Amino acid sequence: MSEYRTIDLEEEKNELGKIEISPEVIEVIAGLAASEVDGVHALRGNFAADVAERLGRKNHGKGVKVELQQDGVKLEVSLQLQYGVSVPEVAAEVQTNIQQALQTMTSITVKAIDVHVIGIQLELPHEAEQQA
């Protein structure tokens, strides 16, 4: 049986005890921060996450993988962008937004944020008609 891993915030210890953060919390914060960036259409998870979402279970950490390291965390974010945006600019903004959100909300050191653009969302013809 695998051990349940958490991130121990050493610098946040006080006389009342220690503070730990689950990797799933990091996934949710990163997922929400990434989805706030203009040009991001959706985060893409694995097959099980997609099925769970279709069954009504919203997973805000979908598309984010957290790797706990000795001196911080490394994240991998898989997402789909909107057609017509600058891929490098949106990807860099995603990295910045995630790093700022995690620093502000958790004080965790982010070692790396790898962004994987796995698709482009094309505008459908009926959407173009509605905007006209």
> Does pLDDT of 111 surpass 70?
yes
Question: What domains lie within the chain, and their CATH numbers?
Answer: 23-131 (3.30.70.1350)
Contacts of 116 (CB under 8 A, 6+ apart): 76, 77, 78, 79
Q: What is the pLDDT of residue 13?
A: 60
12-60 confidence digits (pLDDT tens)? 566 788 888 899 999 999 999 999 999 999 998 644 444 444 445 455 5
Phi-psi region of 25 (alpha: psi -120 to 50; beta: other; left: phi over 0): alpha
Q: What is the pLDDT of residue 49?
A: 46
64-103 confidence digits (pLDDT tens)? 999 998 888 999 999 999 999 999 999 999 999 999 999 9
The distance of Cα 90 from the centroid of its chain, to the nearest Å, equals 14
Q: What is the mean pLDDT of residues 108-127?
A: 87
Q: How crowded is the C-beta side of 9, counted as CA atoms within 13 Å? A: 17
Using alpha carbons only, give the angle 120, 30, 48 rounded to the nearest 5 degrees.
65
1-25 confidence digits (pLDDT tens)? 334 566 776 655 667 888 888 999 9
